[in-house]
Amino acid sequence: GAGVSQSPSNKVTEKGKDVELRCDPISGHTALYWYRQSLGQGLEFLIYFQGNSAPDKSGLPSDRFSAERTGGSVSTLTIQRTQQEDSAVYLCASSLRGTTWGNTQYFGPGTRLTVL
Amino acid sequence: GENVEQHPSTLSVQEGDSAVIKCTYSDSASNYFPWYKQELGKGPQLIIDIRSNVGEKKDQRIAVTLNKTAKHFSLHITETQPEDSAVYFCAARLSNFGNEKLTFGTGTRLTIIP
């Protein structure tokens, strides 16, 4: 079946512009995560959505970052007034609802954001 | 919060030899440890995982071991092949019916020398 998809695959923007990144999770997956991968670094958690619950925004680096998830499916990560340090690959992952041991997170291909 | 350290950052092995990547974690409450393989231009793909109620798990040429007392876990790849060349990430997670965010190591770039 279809995996997690993200769009665009690449985004080049100018400093100060706003950008929107989209994630389509696997159908039926109720949990959705956004991570950021900076050059040569591991993945850094940004935000978590589970069903209709309030999202866990504890990983967002600043108030310029926000995300929403409409209808429990598609999610959009918005970065306002982009800075050069925002340049990174933004990865989305989805999983089934948590159980005692948790569920596997499946990642999309990512969006490479370059801020000039 | 959880902190995961991963070593080495780069690893080169001859085709056919074994590769070992090691990770340590800080939160003794973490109970799930996946390994992801990331090829150039792609998202991470799960290759194997282990839960804290077992000490070892194998899947063909890949195995993972977990030492809860020492809080470290390792990935073992035997009979390496050129297609094993990629960046490998370990991760740790506390599954608590809530946010199951993964805390990742910084990655190991594995190169298989033909």
Is the CB of B101 less than 8 angstroms away from the CB of A59?
yes
* Amino acid at site A112: R
For tokens 């696997």, the residue is: A26
pLDDT in tens, A66-106: 999 988 789 999 999 999 999 999 999 998 875 555 678 89
| Backbone φ, ψ for residue A77 (5° rounding) | -100, 125
**Contact check, Cβ <8 Å, B101/A31:** no
Residues 24-83 of A with CB under 8 A from B: 31, 33, 35, 40-45, 48, 50, 56, 58-59
What is the share, in percent, of chain B residues with pLDDT greater than 70? Answer: 96
B1 touching A, CB under 8 A? Answer: no
pLDDT in tens, A25-41: 999 888 899 999 998 77
Residues 80-99 of A with CB under 8 A from B: 91, 95, 98-99
Higher pLDDT, residue A54 or B100: A54
DSSP string, B58-111: EETTEEEEEETTTTEEEEEE-S--GGG-EEEEEEEB--SSS----EE---EEEE
